[in-house]
Amino acid sequence: MNGTTDRLLVVGGGQGIGQAIADAWPQQTTVWTRSRGIDATDPRQLGEAFANHRRAHGVPFALVHTIGDFVEQPLLRTDLATWRHLFASNLDSAFHTLQAIVPAMVESRRGRVVLFAAAGVDKDRAMLRAPAYFAAKAALVQLARSLAVEVAPAGVTVNVIAPGLIHHPHSHQQSQQRLLARVPSGRLGTVEDVLGMVRYLLSDAAAYVTGQVLTVDGGLQA
């Protein structure tokens, strides 16, 4: 980030990639998770949480949304409850978070928004192993691209990181091992691989980068 006084708000920073991001800036980061009493699918809770955050810390320089449950299941075997849960977790939570926080960033005329999708969702191809999950992430990409144009005049950037097979204690390791042969780099990614992209997007070097999907997948072949 630009300075020691800049604040980072991580929504979903309780484990995995989100936790690694929060740990990278421990003195500057506020973490919102359901376990801490903030459900990002609940607009009321988000509004109250942001009002408290703004009183204590002001408007954050950066907002990072990392929430997104994953279910690996063919489309015709996906029941309605699973479909709705995946969209609530991956898309609705981002929508509500953006509406709660980004207007204040626009008002302050500065800021960085980083959302998380999944490698390949911005491509014109089938995603057979988890179609409901990838559909939600594809919708998130479109949401980000539209928001990027909307808020660009205020100096706020919006970008998406699309990780591939990233290993951490809470990742879907059985699925990752099955797909590892499709990674030309020959290894699973690490949270540090993703964290490097986050550092870039929050740096001065990325001030003119917005509306982009930045893939971190070692060349993963679908």
| Positions marked catalytic | 133
* 78-116 CB burial, b ≥16 within 10 A, e <16: beeeebebbbbbbbbbbbbbbebbbebbbeeebbbbbbb
Strands 213-216, 156-163: pairing kind: parallel
**Phi, psi of 180, rounded to the nearest 5 degrees:** -60, -35
Residues 6+ apart with CB under 8 A from 128: 74
Torsion of CA 202, 44, 31, 201, to 10 degrees: -10
Residues 6+ apart with CB under 8 A from 129: 72, 175
For residue 21, the 8-state DSSP code is H
Count the Cβ atoms, other than its own, within 10 Å of residue 10.
28
Q: Are 17 and 170 in contact (CB under 8 A)?
A: no
